[in-house]
Structure 1
Amino acid sequence: MDIEGLRLYLKEEHEYQNASKEVFLNKIEGIFEELQKSGDSSLMVFPGACCNSECNPELARTGYRFIGDVSRNFFDLRFIIEPKDNDQVIDITEIFKCNYFLTNEDTGELGEHYEVFIFKDEEIDFPKTPEYLIHVNKAIRAQSELASMSNKSSGWEEAVNWLLRHKSTYEYICENDDFTEVLSWTKFKFNYQDLGEVIEVFQMLAQFEILEFSRLNREENEEKLMSGILKIEEILNHSLLFFHRKIEIDESGYYWNFGSEFNLRGGLISEVGKWMDDWFYPTQKMLVEKYFALTEAELDRIVEFNEVPEFERRFDILTTHIDIRKKALENGEWIPFYLGSKAQIQS
């Protein structure tokens, strides 16, 4: 299967996965590009059928699995074909992805499953006002700018300027999207939100009395230390990203890792990152060990019934244990210190 061959067979008058011919072909072309990046030069084709009887039951169930010859990455499509001109010509009236596909024969080991994903606003019947078109195009361009930072270290000022440039687009999206559907601008919206939160948290941390608390004697100023740690934890809780990640360091210095998007360096990150490593994390760990409010058995029981992988990390936070102790005191209970020395605490 190739794009030009499909272009000849597909008709403008038909919808393909509720989208126009051109939109659908662009999605397929995007998958081809990913396959080529993985080293594939051709596709192996295996016929089969959809095994979900509730998925478009009125249509034919036949389709094909396309597998890259090197990566073994694959995608599945159902084809709805009608004969024309006494069966001499075929008309592909519909093509759509299939998530319940079984091939007629064993295809061997498979790689990553690619999905032909059509955004809701790419569907033919989605209402597109002139104002919407302006802002969705701005969002797509902004996301492209962000993608250009991918796999490289982006400066603090570059990120701050990106937020300023695209603030009006973000605000328009927030006012006009109920987020019940995934649209073309959804990725931009969440990336803008995440980056904005991270920048704001670093700015809030930079305003904290870093030097004042760093000079405190850990043995003699426990009350002040606790106050500082609890305030910083409150700042970090401003963004869930800080619950799942920490500032990282490599040979080039401190950075914030946005995963596949980019690494954010410079600006406040170096200053705050060093202070967090030198003072905050060691002091937090010291206080958590003393005020840890759960026995090993209690911790195991709580974790056992919670399937969220990061759930245990909340017990590395001083706020969690102070809250537990406050509730215990309200009930007339006293919790001994240093229960954390017997429980499993993440470093």
Structure 2
Amino acid sequence: MTKTNISLSKKNFIIDGFQKMNLSMLEVTLDDDKTYQNESKIDFLKKIEKAFDKFKQNGNTELKAHKFVCEVSYEFSTTFQGYSFVGNNSKKTLILIFEETETNVENIYDCNGMEISDLLSTIYQTADCSITNAEKINEISAIDYLVLSQKCMAAVTEIQHFENKIINKTIYLSWLDKYHVLNKSLQNTTFDCGGFRRFTSLYENLNHFRKILEENINAKNAIEEYEKILPDDENKLLKWLVANEEMYNKCYSMYYLDDDFTNCFDEDIDEDIDEDLEFYRLYDSKIKIDLIDFKFVLQFLEYFEFPHQEYLAKYTTFTIEQQNEYHNDSSHPLWDAVYSLKYHLQQRGLL
């Protein structure tokens, strides 16, 4: 037998060891000098042993290996391949990524705790998947898992076609409607790897823009009311501010979906945001959202912000120390009250 045939047989023995849940076979065939899931062979096998024990407790006598290939496309493209080991009784599955050469297995790790290489850290800009315990058995079938994964990748790839282009609401509202069911199907799952996380993050951020779009008519009405208020009519202006405070809080959050706005805080840049921007660069992406669709919302925010800050400073019932204390503790019962003009006017008996 040639050396190549021996190596090929070794790789087959490793796969067979998983299928038979034979820890002794894996102990012999896995290389002592390699790490698996960023751990020593001994520690890795301890976790695999726990996984096998769970399978056996559920009445499984063997695992069926299903090979898969998962392509990821974001700023770079890469491919993962591995095996879904499905219990012959419970149909639960252990999904493992295999780094294979033609003749050997170089690394094995749990798909749900995917190791993030330098390349992947770039692909998934916010992905910080930690190595999870390999004994975790997924509650869905391997086939369902892979189908969902491929759907998420397809959805992300579709919207990425518009990177570095300014897109209007027609495009992203259509995308949100198209993948509404997919997003809903992930609500009660614990998938936290790059592909799933990337899709859910994009969906959540774009959906937030949709919710703000729904305020456009209310914002237009508020603008018309504001323009009828005389400059020295403080009573009417206060009532207008209080009536629209909730809408302001909702619409203001759109600033945090702009990557450039967020980076100003991250990098301590003391510069004003350009009020003549044509687009927002969607947070953590290269997708540009056309601001023409938010004409009334943005105009409302401009009308609202200065007088609200001015009268909040005038009528606040908190000391500077109290404001800082409540603001820095989101669990404090008065956290919301710090910036609520309505609260302070009520405290003063002016409402």
TM-score, scaled relative to structure 1: 0.51
Counterparts of 2:107 and 2:143, CA distance in 1: 30
Higher share of residues assigned helix: 2
8 Å contact kept, 1:254–1:270: no
Give the superposition deviation at 1:190: 3.2
Alignment of 1:326 with 2:346, yes or no, is: yes
Q: Deviations over 1:53-77 (max 9, x none)?
A: xxxxxxxxxxxxxxxxxxxxxxxxx
Counterparts of 2:224 and 2:104, CA distance in 1: 78
For 2:149, what is the secondary structure of its paired residue? Answer: helix
* The one of 150, 154, 162 aligned to 1:137: 150
Partner residue, 1:204: 215
Q: Deviations over 1:71-118 (max 9, x none)?
A: xxxxxxxxxxxxxxxxxx99756579999xxxxxxxxxxxxx998948
Partner residue, 1:225: 237
Give the superposition deviation at 1:222: 3.4
- Segments of structure 2 that go 5 or more residues without pairing to the other structure are 1-6, 16-29, 38-43, 49-64, 79-102, 116-124, 262-272
* The one of 173, 181, 185 aligned to 1:168: 181
Counterparts of 2:114 and 2:246, CA distance in 1: 45
Q: Measured at CA, do residues 25 and 154 of structure 1 come closer, stay the same or move farther in structure 2, by a change above 3 Å?
A: closer
Q: Measured at CA, do residues 284 and 222 of structure 1 come closer, stay the same or move farther in structure 2, by a change above 3 Å?
A: same
Partner residue, 2:306: 282
Give the superposition deviation at 1:198: 2.0
8 Å contact kept, 1:155–1:265: yes
Q: Deviations over 1:263-293 (max 9, x none)?
A: 311442234323422x122332333232233
Q: Deviations over 1:184-209 (max 9, x none)?
A: 42332232122112222232133331
Counterparts of 2:178 and 2:186, CA distance in 1: 15
Q: Measured at CA, do residues 114 and 123 of structure 1 come closer, stay the same or move farther in structure 2, by a change above 3 Å?
A: farther
Give the superposition deviation at 1:323: 1.6
Q: Deviations over 1:300-330 (max 9, x none)?
A: 4545xx378xxxx97883xx2432453566x
Give the superposition deviation at 1:242: 4.1
* Counterparts of residues 81-92 of structure 1 (less than 5 Å): 92=106
Partner residue, 1:189: 200
8 Å contact kept, 2:215–2:297: no
8 Å contact kept, 1:255–1:269: no
For 2:214, what is the secondary structure of its paired residue? Answer: helix
Counterparts of 1:238 and 1:213, CA distance in 2: 19
- Segments of structure 1 that go 5 or more residues without pairing to the other structure are 1-6, 35-88, 100-112, 335-347
Q: Letter of the aligned partner of 1:270 in structure 2?
A: K
Counterparts of 2:282 and 2:76, CA distance in 1: 26
Alignment of 1:265 with 2:290, yes or no, is: yes
Counterparts of 1:123 and 1:218, CA distance in 2: 68
More deviation in 226-235 or 136-145?
Answer: 226-235
Q: Measured at CA, do residues 242 and 32 of structure 1 come closer, stay the same or move farther in structure 2, by a change above 3 Å?
A: closer
More deviation in 208-217 or 239-248?
Answer: 239-248
Give the superposition deviation at 1:225: 2.9
Counterparts of 2:211 and 2:105, CA distance in 1: 55
8 Å contact kept, 1:157–1:267: no
Partner residue, 2:280: 256
Partner residue, 1:235: 247
More deviation in 279-288 or 246-255?
Answer: 246-255
* Counterparts of residues 300-311 of structure 1 (less than 5 Å): 300-302=324-326, 306=328
Give the superposition deviation at 1:161: 1.5
Q: Measured at CA, do residues 90 and 242 of structure 1 come closer, stay the same or move farther in structure 2, by a change above 3 Å?
A: closer
8 Å contact kept, 1:236–1:242: no
Counterparts of 1:245 and 1:91, CA distance in 2: 42
8 Å contact kept, 1:139–1:188: yes
Q: Measured at CA, do residues 26 and 147 of structure 1 come closer, stay the same or move farther in structure 2, by a change above 3 Å?
A: closer
* The one of 156, 159, 166 aligned to 2:172: 159
Q: Letter of the aligned partner of 2:172 in structure 1?
A: A
For 1:185, what is the secondary structure of its paired residue? Answer: helix
Q: Measured at CA, do residues 150 and 294 of structure 1 come closer, stay the same or move farther in structure 2, by a change above 3 Å?
A: farther
Query: Share of identical aligned residues, percent?
Result: 15
Partner residue, 2:226: 214
8 Å contact kept, 1:16–1:94: yes
Paired positions, count: 244
Q: Letter of the aligned partner of 1:173 in structure 2?
A: L
Counterparts of 1:256 and 1:31, CA distance in 2: 19
- CA-atom RMSD, angstroms? 5.3
8 Å contact kept, 2:223–2:299: no
